[in-house]
Amino acid sequence: MGTHSVHTTRFGRVRRGFTIVEMLAVIGVIGVLMSIIVPSIANVRREALSVSCQANLRQLHAAIDVYSTMQRGLLPMCDFLPAATPNGPVGGLVDVLGKTVERDCKCWFCAADDDVDGSLAAGTSYMYMPGLLRYAPQVQIQVGALMMASAGSGLTDRQRERQRRDAEAKLVGVLYARSPRTFAVLYDSQDRHRIGSRNPRNAVYIDGSVSVMRDAEETAEP
C-alpha cells in the first residue's frame, strides 16, 4: 500500500498529500514537457542565427553591388578567402571592399561561426565564389589567349595585372549572366545551420536574393 501524508486543517478537514506514485507521475510529465520544450528553444535559436547570417549576406551583397557599379559592372576579382597571417587577414573580399565595409564589421561573420582558428582568423565566415570561378578552365584559357595577344604592347606589370583581372571579371560575369541561380556569390564557409539531418548553407546570389544553398544532388532533376 502507498504511504499517504495526511494533514489536519484548523477546520478539522483532512488534507491528503501526494503519494510517491503521484510524484513520479508529475516528474514524468515534466520530463516529457522538457523533452519537447528544450529542442524547440534550440531550434528557435538556430533559426535566429540563420536569419542574422542571411542579413549579413544581404549587406555584403549590397557592398559588392556598389563596387560593381563603380567598376563598369565588373565583379571584384580576388581570392575566395583571405589568408590568415600573424598580422591579421590579408587579401580576399575583405581587402577589396575595405572602403565600403570596415574589416571589423560583424557582417563579415556568420552569427553561428565559432571556428576561431579557421574562418574567424581569416577575417570572414563567407566564401566568395567568383574568386573560385576565375580559375575555371573556360575562363583561364580565354584569359591566357588574351594575355598572349597583348604581349609586347608596352604595358607595365601593374597594367597587365589589371588587364588580367578585368578579363577574368568579364568572363566570370558571363557565367553568372548565363546561370544566375547556378552559382552563389557568397556562402557559408562551413555548415552551421543544421536542419534535421541536413546541414544546408546560407547563400546570396547575383540578384541579391538569399536562400539555402542546396547540394548538387539535391537540386538535380529526378
Half-sphere exposure at residue 171, Cβ-oriented, CA atoms within 13 angstroms = 22
Q: Provide the pLDDT for residue 22.
A: 67
- Has residue 2 got a pLDDT over 60? no
List pLDDT tens digits, range 56-86: 999 999 999 999 999 999 999 999 999 888 8
pLDDT band at residue 190 under the 50/70/90 scheme? confident
- Has residue 155 got a pLDDT over 60? yes
Sheet strand arrangement including 186-188: 126-128, 186-188, 201-204, 210-213
Q: Provide the pLDDT for residue 154.
A: 83
- Has residue 208 got a pLDDT over 60? yes
Q: Provide the pLDDT for residue 199.
A: 74
List pLDDT tens digits, range 9-54: 555 555 556 677 667 776 776 766 666 655 656 666 778 888 999 9
End-to-end CA distance of the chain: 64
- Has residue 95 got a pLDDT over 80? yes
> Is the separation of the CB atoms in 185 and 130 below 8 Å?
yes
Overall pTM > 0.85: no
Q: Give the C-alpha separation, 186 to 210, whole Å.
A: 10
Give the residue from 194, 177, 176 showing the smallest Cα distance to 185: 176
Angle at 82 between CA 79 and CA 88, to 5 degrees: 155
Q: Provide the pLDDT for residue 37.
A: 57
Decide: residue 188, CB within 10 A, 0-12 exposed, 13-18 middle, 19+ buried.
buried
Q: Domain residue spans in the chain?
A: 14-78+184-219
Q: Provide the pLDDT for residue 28.
A: 73
Q: Provide the pLDDT for residue 39.
A: 60
- Has residue 97 got a pLDDT over 60? yes
Contacts for 188 with CB less than 8 Å, ≥ 6 apart = 53, 110, 125, 126, 127, 201, 202, 203, 213
**Average of per-residue pLDDT across 136-149:** 93
Give the residue from 108, 204, 52, 113 showing the smallest Cα distance to 44: 52
> Is the separation of the CB atoms in 130 and 139 below 8 Å?
no
More confident residue, 131 or 37: 131
Q: What is the DSSP letter of 132?
A: H
Q: Provide the pLDDT for residue 150.
A: 84
Q: How far is CA 134 from CA 46, 77, 103, 156, in A?
A: 34, 8, 24, 22
Among all chains, which residue has been given the C-alpha cell 520530463?
Answer: 31
**Average of per-residue pLDDT across 153-158:** 86
- Percentage of residues in the chain with pLDDT exceeding 70? 77
Mean pLDDT of the chain: 83
Decide: residue 205, CB within 10 A, 0-12 exposed, 13-18 middle, 19+ buried.
buried
